[in-house]
């Protein structure tokens, strides 16, 4: 039966007449119920819980369109109802969702005690508030994304309706096989991508790019051998370019279907994709897609919270779990074919303490196959204790200042940058470090986005953001850009935090070229350096490199101090991966190893299979395995 009809019947059966339901609509995996009497739902809060339970879907209660008041009138009334201290930044209306978007510094005050204020808004204006938190410092990108989604809200509504038709289409009986095809990121780090398919459904998970790889930077999308409109969905584990860098390319190639991820992943991946285009253009290279494709992608993003079960195809359901790697990063649980198979893709995980995030999720309802990363899965890849790492970092910074040198810390603008900022900020606050700290590149924008989603941060940091004392917007951090780079380096005692993290492009490379010759300067690596990247070659002892200076190529001698501080990585080292496997509940029956250099991945798979007596293999790109 048609899903719309089926849902309507369930709604009719479970909600009493006083709720005055006028319409029921599907919006992607969610249900929107329109009522002429929203009050009935406030008086009996069980209604929503009950109907959501019956439908097994997220339910949105909306007021019937006839109750929506004039926008101008509603806007003024909202300003009256919400206390000034809420710090409302923007109010705008999305009629296709009967919603008013209210962006405020303190969303709690727009909601009110027990939801009183937002209920009043609904009763008096008809509009349902969708309350967003403003970042504690301006973020052009975030503002742009939110406006873009608003501008296209009626198109989004149509997209969601089309999506739900596909999710809930009728399936012929099938023989229930499940297959995984490795398209990128196997026996390597970079361009993560895989296809999960059944006789009826095809889902891509991650579509990354390998920025350190000149020969084969893209996943093997051509091996899909199917028109992109046959894809049911794309799922994105997290925003890093090696997982999400090429999602807009799919849209350039004609894909027009849903992209499932968390809200922070949506915003951060757009930020990194815009930056990726920018870096390539500045280097005179042709980007694989344009800003228009990123914006098209944004319209198709369906955001989910951690642990929210979501139907994405007639025979597939996903749940995103906290992966503790970067803001909004997730491990993806695929529930395939009415319980026929349960696959968990851990993606990039941190199984250890971090200042930024809550502990990684280890509990799953069911689990047969686990795909696990092995970035630091090698037997020697042991990360030092976090406290020792912090001490080592601070010691190098002080020694460099003592020599009147400057320090460059290349970072991924999302993840390591914020972790390092937290460490430095704390040492400053305690008076244990001085000097000037400059943030360059996308890091400032990325940090601002962190402050818009404090619920994804560990309690301590969350509290500071909520009290408007965000460590990321501390006065300590000064903004650097192409205009003041030379001046900063003349000043001495500067600590520069800049992307890219592996010196593959962007401001960190420019600082490096200006700083390398001076032996008093330091370069500190705090994150993973991919095979072939400049960062990796420097770690291996590179002492000179050709650079282009005013159109001429010359040899740049590298005299600066080059250090690596292990312990800040957002990835788990071998011991942490093993502890993760030990803690997983339930235990998988089969393990597939990916996201590690060739020898590391192979060796880690062998180690795990001996240790846990579980079938473990390091697939290669283009391998396909039958999971069921």
**Chain positions contacting Zn ion, by CB under 5 A:** 240, 242, 348
Decide whether 511 or 604 has the Cβ nearer to Zn ion.
604
The position carrying tokens 């400032």 is 444
Decide whether 323 or 439 has the Cβ nearer to Zn ion.
323
Decide whether 237 or 451 has the Cβ nearer to Zn ion.
237
Distance between CA atoms of 463 and 446, rounded to whole angstroms? 19
Decide whether 15 or 605 has the Cβ nearer to Zn ion.
605
Residue 398, judged by CB atoms within 10 A of its CB (0-12, 13-18, 19+), counts as middle
Distance between CA atoms of 563 and 376, rounded to whole angstroms? 18
Say if CB 534 and CB 509 are below 8 A apart: yes
Nearest distance from C-beta of residue 392 to Zn ion, angstroms: 23
Decide whether 464 or 574 has the Cβ nearer to Zn ion.
574
The position carrying tokens 């006789």 is 199
Nearest distance from C-beta of residue 205 to Zn ion, angstroms: 13
Nearest distance from C-beta of residue 498 to Zn ion, angstroms: 18
Which phi and psi (to 5°) does residue 375 adopt?
-45, -50
Decide whether 208 or 507 has the Cβ nearer to Zn ion.
208
Say if CB 522 and CB 561 are below 8 A apart: yes
Decide whether 67 or 239 has the Cβ nearer to Zn ion.
239
Nearest distance from C-beta of residue 456 to Zn ion, angstroms: 15
140-151 and 153-167 are packed helices; what angle lies between their axes, rounded to 10 degrees?
Answer: 70
Nearest distance from C-beta of residue 272 to Zn ion, angstroms: 11
Decide whether 240 or 333 has the Cβ nearer to Zn ion.
240
Nearest distance from C-beta of residue 383 to Zn ion, angstroms: 16
Decide whether 348 or 419 has the Cβ nearer to Zn ion.
348
Nearest distance from C-beta of residue 66 to Zn ion, angstroms: 48
Nearest distance from C-beta of residue 238 to Zn ion, angstroms: 6
Say if CB 362 and CB 580 are below 8 A apart: yes
Nearest distance from C-beta of residue 237 to Zn ion, angstroms: 8
Which among 187, 240, 239, 249 is positioned nearest to 218, based on CA atoms?
249
71-to-93, 111, 118, 126, 566 alpha-carbon distances in Å: 7, 19, 16, 10, 55
Give the 3-state secondary structure of residue 162: helix
Decide whether 78 or 249 has the Cβ nearer to Zn ion.
249
2-to-8, 172, 463, 582 alpha-carbon distances in Å: 10, 15, 46, 44
405-to-392, 496, 521 alpha-carbon distances in Å: 17, 12, 4
- Partnered with residue 78 across adjacent β-strands are none
Which phi and psi (to 5°) does residue 610 adopt?
-70, -45
Give the 3-state secondary structure of residue 214: coil
Nearest distance from C-beta of residue 208 to Zn ion, angstroms: 7
Nearest distance from C-beta of residue 311 to Zn ion, angstroms: 27
Q: What is the CA radius of gyration of the chain?
A: 25
Decide whether 41 or 456 has the Cβ nearer to Zn ion.
456
Distance between CA atoms of 183 and 208, rounded to whole angstroms? 10
Say if CB 371 and CB 332 are below 8 A apart: no
What is the DSSP code string of 438-502?
EEETTHHHHHHHHHH-GGGS-HHHHHHHHTT--GGG-TTEEE--TTTHHHHHHH-SEEEEES-TT
Decide whether 476 or 502 has the Cβ nearer to Zn ion.
502
CA 261 to the chain's CA centroid? 7
Q: How many CB atoms lie under 10 A from the CB of residue 28?
A: 24
Nearest distance from C-beta of residue 376 to Zn ion, angstroms: 12
């Amino acid at each position: 039966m048609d899903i719309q009809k089926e849902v309507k019947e369930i709604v009719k059966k479970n909600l009493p007449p006083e709720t005055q339901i006028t319409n029921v609509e599907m919006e992607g995996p969610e249900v929107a119920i329109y009522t002429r009497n929203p009050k009935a739902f406030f008086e009996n809060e069980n209604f929503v819980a009950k109907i959501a339970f019956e439908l097994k879907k997220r339910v949105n209660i909306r007021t019937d369109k006839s109750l929506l008041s004039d926008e101008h009138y509603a806007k003024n009334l909202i300003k009256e109802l919400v206390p000034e201290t809420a710090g409302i930044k923007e109010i705008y209306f999305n009629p296709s969702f009967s919603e008013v978007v209210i962006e405020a510094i303190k969303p709690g005050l727009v909601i009110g005690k027990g939801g009183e204020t937002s209920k009043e808004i609904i009763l008096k204006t008809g509009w349902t508030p969708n309350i967003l938190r403003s970042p504690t410092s301006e973020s052009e990108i975030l503002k742009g994304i939110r406006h873009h989604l608003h501008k296209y809200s009626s198109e989004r509504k149509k997209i969601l309706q089309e999506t739900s038709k596909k999710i809930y289409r009728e399936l012929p009986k099938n023989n229930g096989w499940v297959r995984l095809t490795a398209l990128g990121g196997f026996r390597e780090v970079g361009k993560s991508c895989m296809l999960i398919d059944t006789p009826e459904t095809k889902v891509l998970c991650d579509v990354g790019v390998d920025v350190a790889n000149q020969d084969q930077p893209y996943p093997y999308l051509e091996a899909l051998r199917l028109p992109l409109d046959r894809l049911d969905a794309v799922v994105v584990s997290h925003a890093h370019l090696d997982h999400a860098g090429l999602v807009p390319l799919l849209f350039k190639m004609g894909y027009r279907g849903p992209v499932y991820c968390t809200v922070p992943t949506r915003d951060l991946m757009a930020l990194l994709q815009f930056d990726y285009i920018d870096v390539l253009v500045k280097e005179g290279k042709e980007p694989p897609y344009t800003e228009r494709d990123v914006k098209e992608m944004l319209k198709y993003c369906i955001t989910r919270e951690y642990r929210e079960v979501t139907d994405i195809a007639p025979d597939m359901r996903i749940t995103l779990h906290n992966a503790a790697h970067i803001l909004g990063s997730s491990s993806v649980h695929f529930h395939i074919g009415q319980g026929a198979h349960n696959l968990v893709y851990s993606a990039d995980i941190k199984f250890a303490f971090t200042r930024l995030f809550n502990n990684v999720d280890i509990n799953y309802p069911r689990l047969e196959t686990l795909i696990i990363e092995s970035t630091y899965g090698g037997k020697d890849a042991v990360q030092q204790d976090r406290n020792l790492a912090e001490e080592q970092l601070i010691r190098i910074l002080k020694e460099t200042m003592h020599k009147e040198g400057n320090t460059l810390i290349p970072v991924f603008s999302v993840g390591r940058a914020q972790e390092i900022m937290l460490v430095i900020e704390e040492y400053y606050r305690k008076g244990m470090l001085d000097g000037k700290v400059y943030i360059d590149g996308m890091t400032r924008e990325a940090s601002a986005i962190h402050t818009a989603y404090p619920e994804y941060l560990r309690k301590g940091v969350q509290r500071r953001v909520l009290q408007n004392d965000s460590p990321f917007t501390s006065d300590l951090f000064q903004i650097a850009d192409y205009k003041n780079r030379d001046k900063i380096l003349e000043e001495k005692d500067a600590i520069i935090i800049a992307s890219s993290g592996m010196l593959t492009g962007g401001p960190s490379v420019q600082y490096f070229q200006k700083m390398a010759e001076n032996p008093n300067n330091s370069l500190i690596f705090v994150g993973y350096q991919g095979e072939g990247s400049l960062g990796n070659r420097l770690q291996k002892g590179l002492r000179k490199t050709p650079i282009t200076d005013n159109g001429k190529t010359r040899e740049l001698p590298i005299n600066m101090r080059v250090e690596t501080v292990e312990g800040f990585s957002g990835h788990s080292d071998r011991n942490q991966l093993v502890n993760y496997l030990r803690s997983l509940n339930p235990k998988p029956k089969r393990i597939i190893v990916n996201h590690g250099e060739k020898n590391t991945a192979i060796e880690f798979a062998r180690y795990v299979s001996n240790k846990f007596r579980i079938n473990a293999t390091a697939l290669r790109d283009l391998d396909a395995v039958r999971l069921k």
